Structure 1
Amino acid sequence: MLRPSPAPAPALRSVLAALGSPTAVREARTPALRAAQGPLSPELPLPVHVLGVSGATPGTVLTTGQPPRTRLAGWRFLIRNGDRAIAAADTMLTPDGWSFSHFFEGPYIAATERALIQAEALVTPYQPRLLSVPELYMLTLWLDADTEADGATAAPGPADLLVPLAPAPPGIAADHPYQVADLLPVLSLRLAPPPLLGSAAPA
């Protein structure tokens, strides 16, 4: 069961304006969007958070005893044509407010839609978000157990689920819901820099 957080109205308006602009659609780097017949509608808005790890001490940011740092990077809308999503639109926060960023397509579109359908069938209610780990080229559906939380804030908590979207990094199962305490330590190991030559490996 999903209880999404409403997207900022200016973000939605900026996407609708871009979809209504023949120039914006024609110049979009997404063949499916340019070739689409019939109406295009932005749906299923999700806040996109980025996991903050740069400059952190290895092994500390993603441990279960310390909440990971995240920042809101934008809102993403799936662009539906008929009965399926064929592209997505990202918005970003500028000094003048929320504005359209770009259209795109790729495997994460279908993977996001599939993960949302699976999450909707869960008995426990969740607030859906996206959590990006740029260093691993990884995107997850973040199911926040606090359905009343502001979609622009907070960090993954112990009751939340993370569902890696396909394609996921090697050794991490795509479409599988992980408890935060199970997945974050794995990410911590992947993100930790290798030891310097000649230095002792950590015990």
Structure 2
Amino acid sequence: MPLHVLPAPAPALRTVHMALGSPTAVRANHTPALRSVQGPLSPESPLPVHVLDRIAPSESGPATRLTGWRFLLRGGERYVAAAETVLTPDGWTFSHFFEGPYLHSTEQALRQAESMKTRFQPRLLSVPELYMLTLWLHGDITADASSGTPLPADILVPLAPAPPGIAAHRPQRVADLLPVMTLRLAPAPLLGTPA
């Protein structure tokens, strides 16, 4: 089933177009792919980026907050880089261009999600405590992209590179993956002390 991709805020998209049109912005970034592309670049597949502030289970569930929107940049037949915008007190602003493993991993995870039988709203969920990024497939396709928390039945697809002990590109329900993530954060017992 197709994903229910929400449109990005118009000001966020506008800042990406302005950055793409600025030779200074393109050259100033350490993104060789942008400088080598022949022809126009188009921002596609907008994804709201949420940060998981608290992994540990609580009565209210995991705490997340919207920090930006990420756009995959198509150059010809493939994605060559990504652009990220952030929300500031003055509104949406361009943050940076980048390339690397998360770009191709995001593309692969989106293809995986497209082949699922259930409709989802795709988002990105960053887990700074684990240096981890996931494709968050939110079950409430009518939800506002700026809010929400991962529901137990939502799906998380860890992007590569994933932290040790967590398989990249293996879709898992939030209810199943969050306990694993919590264990990854637990301090290891000292040798010689009872567990």
TM bracket, shorter-chain basis: over 0.9
Where in structure 1 do 4 or more consecutive aligned residues deviate above 2 Å?
61-66, 192-201
Match of 2:113 among 119, 124, 127: 119
Match of 2:84 in 1: 90
SS of structure 1 residue aligned to 2:57: coil
**Identity of aligned pairs, percent?**
68
How far, CA to CA, are the matches of 1:119 and 1:6 in structure 2?
Answer: 18
- Closer, same or farther in 2 for the Cα pair 1:170/1:194, shift >3 Å? closer
Instruction: Kindly indicate whether structure 1 or structure 2 has the higher relative contact order, using CA contacts under 8 Å at least 6 residues apart.
Output: 1
- Normalized against structure 2, the TM-score is what? 0.93
Number of positions where the alignment pairs a residue of Structure 1 with one of Structure 2:
194
Match of 1:139 in 2: 133
C-alpha distance after superposition, 1:143-175 (max 9, x if no partner): 001000011100100220000001111111111
Match of 1:190 among 167, 180, 184: 184
How far, CA to CA, are the matches of 1:134 and 1:91 in structure 2?
Answer: 18
The gaps in structure 2 that reach 5 residues or longer are none
The structural deviation recorded for 1:199 is 7.9
Q: How does 1:45-84 map to 2 (within 5 A)?
A: 45-53=46-54, 61-63=55-57, 66-84=60-78
The gaps in structure 1 that reach 5 residues or longer are 54-60
- Normalized against structure 1, the TM-score is what? 0.90
What amino acid maps onto 1:50 in structure 2?
A: V
SS of structure 2 residue aligned to 1:118: helix
The structural deviation recorded for 1:94 is 1.1
SS of structure 2 residue aligned to 1:185: helix
C-alpha distance after superposition, 1:8-49 (max 9, x if no partner): 100000000000111111111101111111110100010111
Structural RMSD (CA)? 1.8
